[in-house]
Amino acid sequence: MFRGQRGWFCGSVGQDLRRFWVAEGGTISDSRAADFLFSCDASHPDTLRIYQSLDYIEDNATVFHACYLSTVANAEIKSSVALGHFILPPACLQNEIRRRIGSFIWEQDQHFLIEKHGEV
Amino acid sequence: ATDNCTKITKYRCSGCIAVGKPLNSRNFSKLLHSCPYQCDHHKVIVDAEDRYKSELRRSLICNKKILLTPRRRQLSKES
Ligand SMILES: [Zn+2]
């Protein structure tokens, strides 16, 4: 599923998700070279560095919640999980966003995400 | 469950559906910005992130000015 893709992992991401990434063909790289940026905690210093980078300011770096990987791992059709549902915005914006849209998709029941794609 | 159903219909912009080229951290933000029909969910996130980014950009420019000013002064003294 992730063959040839380079992933960067914040210190907040557990080993099992990194192992899954590698098992699916992904490699682990530094944040500048990575195709994918994964984090579980927007206020972790590793992730804060991304939010303060020029790449981020110039719209070249979107951080995704690493529960994307666990959702993929649990999905029947791995490619059916929409990456776009797992944007992880900076921690200082999250409360404001929550007030307007309710909970983030990655905060919701993950079975709902899988079933939803099954129905389409 | 009904609450989820109404949410499902709203999650339908190019940020929600992977179209054509594979998405990653490098192209996702540009894809969302180029989507004319952002869903509520993505619109709110994009708006908030854009505001955050422009604040960062402004503070970067300010920092640069602070760094440059004394150097310029030194140069004018030398000349
Ligand atoms: Zn959307």
- Choose from A62, A85, A113, A117 for mutation: most chain B CBs within 10 A: A62
The pLDDT, as a whole number, for residue B16 is 85
Which ipTM was obtained for this model? 0.86
How far is A1 from A88, CA to CA, in rounded Å? 22
Angstrom CA distances, A91 to A76, A96, B20, stand at 31, 10, 31
Residue B18 banded pLDDT, cuts 50, 70, 90 = low
- Give bridge partners of residue A114 from the DSSP assignment: none
Closest chain A C-alpha to B13 CA, distance in angstroms:
10
Answer yes or no: is pLDDT of B20 > 70. Answer: no
The pLDDT, as a whole number, for residue A56 is 96
- For residue B37, the CA-to-ligand 1 centroid distance in Å is 8
Residues 6+ apart with CB under 8 A from B12: B39
The pLDDT, as a whole number, for residue A109 is 58
Q: With a cut of 50, which residues of chain A have pLDDT below it?
A: 112-120
- For residue B6, the CA-to-ligand 1 centroid distance in Å is 14
- Choose from A87, A94, A98, A108 for mutation: most chain B CBs within 10 A: A87
Answer yes or no: is pLDDT of B6 > 90. Answer: no
C-beta separation of A34 from A7 below 8 A: yes
The pLDDT, as a whole number, for residue B2 is 38
What DSSP string runs through B15-55? TTS--SSPP-TTTHHHHHHH-SS--HHHHHHHHHHHHHHHH
The pLDDT, as a whole number, for residue A86 is 93
Q: Which residues of B touch A90 (CB under 8 A)?
A: 49, 52
- For residue B20, the CA-to-ligand 1 centroid distance in Å is 16
pTM of the model: 0.81
**Tens-digit pLDDT profile for residues B22-67:** 899 999 999 999 988 899 899 999 999 999 999 999 988 887 766 6
Q: How many CB pairs (< 8 A) connect A and B?
A: 79
The pLDDT, as a whole number, for residue B12 is 75
The pLDDT, as a whole number, for residue A113 is 47
**Tens-digit pLDDT profile for residues B65-74:** 666 555 555 5
C-beta separation of A74 from A112 below 8 A: no
Q: Which residues of B touch A97 (CB under 8 A)?
A: 44-45, 48
Nearest to B26 among A35, A84, A89 (CB): A35
Closest B-chain CA to A92: B52
Contact across the interface for A61 and B25, Cβ inside 8 Å: yes
What Rg, from alpha-carbon coordinates, does chain A have? 14
The pLDDT, as a whole number, for residue A9 is 98
How far is A73 from A91, CA to CA, in rounded Å? 26
Residue B79 banded pLDDT, cuts 50, 70, 90 = very low
